[in-house]
Structure 1
C-alpha cells in the first residue's frame, strides 16, 4: 500500500516533470513485485500450515490486516489505468475492469466478514482501552475499491458498462464511509477516556486519514465521472450528473477538513510518544497520509486552487521521504531477521495445549 501510493503520487504531483513520470513507473513495477511476493508467501504459509489460518482469523488484531490485500491490489489497478491503458489500448482497459471486479469482490468480502467477526469476538478486545484505529483497515477496503472503480469507469469505452461500474462504486462507498465514521466516533471516545495508544502502536493514529482522504477522493472522482456519464446514458435527470459532481466535491471538502483534525491529533500523539520503537506498523505513516495528499491534489484540480496544489505537493514530498525512511529501516530489520513476527501464533500454542488436555490418559 505504501509503495503503491508513492507511485501514484509521483504520477499525480501538481508540479511534475518527465523524470517523475519515470519514477512512478519504477515504483509501479516495484509495487507489483512486492505485492506478488507477499501474496505468494502468504498463500504458501496458509496452504502448508492451514492451522495458522483459523488462529489468525480469530485474532481480533491480526485478522484486521486482511483489509490491506485488496487495498494494496487497488494501487496496482490504479497505476495500470494511468500508465498501461493509454499505451496498450482496449485490451488493457478490459483487463483493468476485470482486475477491479476481483478487487471489489475481495474488498466487500473483507469488509462484511471482518465486521461480523469483530462482533463475534468482541469479548477478546475486553475493553475500549484496547480499541485501535486498525479497526478501520477492513472498512477502508471498500472505500478504496470505490475510488479505483471511478478511475476504471472513466476509461471504459462502453457508457453502459461505465454506468454499472459507477453505481457499484457508489454502493461500495456507502458500505465503507458511514461505517468508518462510526468507528472514528468509538476511537475518539477511546482517546478521550484512555489517552494515547501504547508506543508500539502509536503510528495507528494516522490511520483515520485513510478513509477520510480516500473517501473524499472517491466521492469527488465519482462525481466527476458521473457528470460525463449520466447525460450520455440518460440516467435519472439531465442535471443529475452535475448535481452528483457538486455534492461530491463539497463532501470531499468536508471530509478533508475533518481529516485535518485527525492529522493534528496524530502529530500531537507522535510528538508526545517519542521516542517509539520501529516496527512494521511504521508503514501506517505512508498510505493514510498518501491518500490524504491525493485528495488534496484532486481538490486543487477541481476548484482549481493553487493553495491546495501547493499543499498536495508538500504532503506528497513528505510521504515520499517517509517511504524512504521506513523502507530503509524495514530492509535493515529484515536483513537482521528481527523485524518479522506473528503474535497470533501464541494462540496456536494455546490451542494445541488445550487439545492435549482433552485427550484421555
Structure 2
C-alpha cells in the first residue's frame, strides 16, 4: 500500500525511497524551531499549537529516518552517491540539528508535563546528538577534501551545515543543564563550550571565505539563492549557545567551588551573544536584500527554501534570550516580529513542500549526477519543483 503522495510518483513508494535525500531533514529543523518559539508569543493557544507542532515534527522525523534507512539498505549506490555529492552531503548536518529541536522540546514541553524524567531523557538523547554532530562535522569536511571537487565560484552557504551542528548541540546543552542536578549538569556545560569551539570558529572562517566568493563571483544561481540565509544560522546559534551556557554555568561552577568564575562566563555570554547577534542582524539584512534581488528574475521552489526558516528561528531565539538577560523590551518586541515572519515563511514553505512531494517532483528531481551517469564530483543543484 502506498500513500497518496507516494502513488503520485511514477515509481510509487520505491521512487520516493530512492529519491529521498538528507535535505528533507531541513524541514524538521524549520518546523522544530517554530515549535520551540511559539510559547514566546503572547497569543492564547500559541503554546498548545507549538506542542502540537513538536509532536508532529517527531512523527515527520521518524518517517524521514525510516526512509533514510530504507534507502541505505535498498539503494546503496544512490546512498554512496549522496555521500560524495558536493551539495547533498552537506545536508547530513541537518540530521543532528533536526533531532536537537526534538530534544529541546522535551525541556520546553516535556518537563512541564512529565517532570524531571523528561530532562533526563533529553540528557541521554543529547549525548547521542552531540556525538553525531561531531562525527558529521569531521567526516563531511574530510570527504570534501578527499573525494569531492569544489571551487570557490561554486561555494554557497551549504558548506556551513556540517560544522554548525555542533554549536546547535552546544545550545541544547545550555538549555538542558539547568533542569539536572549540579553533578549531572557539569558534563553538559563543559562539553557545550567544547562543542562551541568545534563549530563557531570554523563557521566564521567559512563565512569570511563566502564573502570573498560573493565579491569575486557574485550571487549564487537562483536555485541556490536562499542559501544566502544559511550563514545567519551559525551566527545566531553561536549567540544562543553563549547565552544559554552562560546562564547554566554559575550553578555548576558554584557546586565545584569555582563560583568566582561564574560572572566571567555570564559576561562572556552577554558580550559574545551581542556581538554574534549584531553580526547576524547585518547578515539577515544582506540575505533579505540579495534574495529580493534574485526574486525579480525568478526564484524556483526547492527544498533549500527551508534554509529560510531555521536560521531565522534561532536568530529569534537568541533575540528572546538577550531580552531575558538584559530586560530590554526592544529585544522581546523584535523577537515577536521575527516569530511572526517565521510563521508566515514556514506556512508558505510547508504548503509548497507538500505540493511538490505529492506531485512527485521533489523526489523525481532528487536524482544526483552520479545516478544519472555523470561523475560524482559534478556539483548538482538542490532538488526543485516548479
Specify if TM > 0.5: yes
Which of 83, 106, 109 is equivalent to 2:135?
109
The answer on 1:169 being equivalent to 2:192 is: yes
Query: Which stretch has the larger CA shift, 162-171 or 80-89?
Result: 80-89
C-alpha displacement at 1:239, in angstroms?
1.8
The answer on 1:257 being equivalent to 2:312 is: no
Whether the 8 Å contact between 1:73 and 1:103 is mirrored in structure 2 is yes
2-structure distance, mates of 1:169, 1:352 = 39
| Equivalences for residues 1-361 of structure 1 within 5 A | 1-13=29-41, 16-121=42-147, 124-125=149-150, 127-156=151-180, 158-235=181-258, 238-274=259-295, 275-341=298-364, 343=366, 345-350=368-373
TM (norm. structure 2) is 0.87
SS at match of 1:234: coil
2-structure distance, mates of 1:345, 1:325 = 26
C-alpha displacement at 1:17, in angstroms?
3.9
Whether the 8 Å contact between 1:55 and 1:344 is mirrored in structure 2 is no
1-structure distance, mates of 2:245, 2:375 = 49
2-structure distance, mates of 1:350, 1:50 = 16
C-alpha displacement at 1:86, in angstroms?
2.6
2-structure distance, mates of 1:182, 1:25 = 37
1-structure distance, mates of 2:373, 2:47 = 51
SS at match of 2:300: coil
* Structure-1 residue corresponding to 2:384: none
2-structure distance, mates of 1:232, 1:12 = 31
2-structure distance, mates of 1:341, 1:266 = 29
TM (norm. structure 1) is 0.92
Whether the 8 Å contact between 1:56 and 1:344 is mirrored in structure 2 is no
**Which ranges in structure 2 are unaligned for 5 or more consecutive residues?**
1-28, 377-386
1-structure distance, mates of 2:136, 2:364 = 23
Write the deviation string for residues 2-45 of structure 1: whole angstroms up to 9, x where unpaired.
100110110233xx244111011111011101111111111101
Write the deviation string for residues 119-178 of structure 1: whole angstroms up to 9, x where unpaired.
2235x12x211001000001110010000111111111x212101110001000010000
C-alpha displacement at 1:67, in angstroms?
0.2
C-alpha displacement at 1:344, in angstroms?
5.5
SS at match of 1:60: coil
2-structure distance, mates of 1:121, 1:257 = 37
**Which ranges in structure 1 are unaligned for 5 or more consecutive residues?**
354-361
Q: CA RMSD in A?
A: 1.6
